[in-house]
Amino acid sequence: MDRDRILLTPGPLTTTLRTKLAMLHDWGSWDGDFNAVTASVRRRLLEIVHGQDSHVVVPLQGSGTFSVEAAVATVVPRDGHVLVLDNGAYCKRAAKLTQLMGRRCSVLAFDEDAPVSPAALEARLQADRSITHVVLIHCETGAGVLNPLEEVAAACERQGRGLIVDAMSSFAALPIDARRVRFDALVAASGKCLEGVPGMGFVFLRRAILDGCAGHSQSLAMDLHDQHVYMEKTGQWRFTPPTHVVVALSEAIAQFEEEGGQPARLARYQDNCRTLVDGLQALGLRPFLKPVHQAPIIVTFHAPEHPAYEFKRFYAAAKQRGFMLYPGKLTTLETFRVGCIGAIGRLEMQQAVDAVGAALRELGIPAAPQ
């Protein structure tokens, strides 16, 4: 093939050549030039959520889940009680990591095919005053559901509870405005909608709670308060930073800004999503979610009800044609997922539809338009 395969996943994503080329140089982790890149990245990340006056941003080495775990450990005191709003696989992961860190954890469960309910949350918070913090997955990519961040944040604020938001798959694509939405922590990562490469997470922490977070974390490496204090004092990371990832992210943010920022990125992803859904429905593939609940990030489709269908063979046939899909994450239904994000547009999405159609024909599965 004369190009890399297109990654139609929730991350890592397809990146531009400019982003790839940014990683061709080596950087000293304590050097002033690299520290300037880190400072610039932090400043521009805060601008994306309009959080300059209300929040700080703390970068952390590792996958996005590292930063979710670090946020919970840093923000929630050891005698705190976390309520996780659960409508999918990544919600369940948040509950598991909270428990593994020794925090008390409760789960408020919802169906996988619909958003969480702010009214049910508020009723639960009124009924259980021991709950100190709520965890929300903004876009639950297990199914692709968009959860109501603003309404959940308002309920937490009315009830005087902290809110930790996993915005891994939504940050920089869906609107998030720290001036209107109160959150104690919001977590995202380099390899998602900013279209950088994986390897760095970052957490927005509300200034009003920052000093009170000292000593909460039981981890040295994942103590965001300590990381922030050290970075403010020295401009440096406490431990070896992912230098190439940081520089690639800086370049990716420059392209994000050139494109027109969050509104332009959302518009492109929405167009990708429409192209994908319309095209696959014409092949007889049904989306799992109702359109009203679907975020333009990743789309879950019902697997074809045909004896010749097997995901591994379907995946291999699509991969051979240059597109990498993603397995389903639901526990009760056979599904597969297709991402709409990354450095791709309508042309690549239409090519992906064509590749899926060819893969189905290779497996002997006829198109049955919906």
CATH of the domain at 84: 3.40.640.10
d(CA 182, CA 153): 6
Domains held by the chain: number: 2
d(CA 51, CA 10): 25
In residues, how long is the chain?
A: 370
d(CA 163, CA 166): 10
Contact 294, 144 (CB under 8 A): yes
> Would 225 be classed as within a structural domain?
yes
> Would 287 be classed as within a structural domain?
yes
Q: What integer pLDDT is reported at residue 284 of this predicted model?
A: 95
pTM, two decimals, is 0.96
DSSP letter at 293 equals G
Q: What integer pLDDT is reported at residue 3 of this predicted model?
A: 72
d(CA 169, CA 189): 8
Q: What integer pLDDT is reported at residue 2 of this predicted model?
A: 52
Q: What is the pLDDT along the chain (370 residues), one digit of tens a residue?
A: 457 999 999 889 999 999 999 999 999 999 999 999 999 999 999 999 999 999 999 999 999 999 999 999 999 999 999 999 999 999 999 999 999 999 999 999 999 999 999 999 999 999 999 999 999 999 999 999 999 999 999 999 999 999 999 999 999 999 999 999 999 999 999 999 999 999 999 999 999 999 999 999 999 999 999 999 999 999 999 999 999 999 999 999 999 999 999 999 999 999 999 999 999 999 999 999 999 999 999 999 999 999 999 999 999 999 999 999 999 988 788 999 999 999 999 999 999 999 999 999 999 999 877 6
> 227 and 274 share a domain?
no
> 248 and 282 share a domain?
no
> 226 and 275 share a domain?
no
The type of residue at 33 is D
d(CA 22, CA 12): 17
Four-CA torsion 359, 360, 362, 365, nearest 10 degrees: 170
Beta-strand pair 133-137/162-166: parallel
Domain boundary among 197, 225, 258: 258
Instruction: Specify the 3-state DSSP secondary structure of 41.
Output: helix
Max CA pair span of the chain: 63
CATH of the domain at 320: 3.90.1150.10
Helices (H) and strands (E) in the chain, counts: 12, 14
Its domain, for residue 340, covers 6-11+261-363
Domain boundary among 218, 239, 258: 258
> Would 334 be classed as within a structural domain?
yes
d(CA 130, CA 121): 14
- What is the C-alpha end-to-end distance of the chain, expressed in Å? 33
> Would 331 be classed as within a structural domain?
yes
> Would 248 be classed as within a structural domain?
yes
> 242 and 267 share a domain?
no
> 265 and 245 share a domain?
no
Q: What integer pLDDT is reported at residue 368 of this predicted model?
A: 79
How many Cα atoms within 13 Å fall on the side-chain side of residue 311?
A: 15
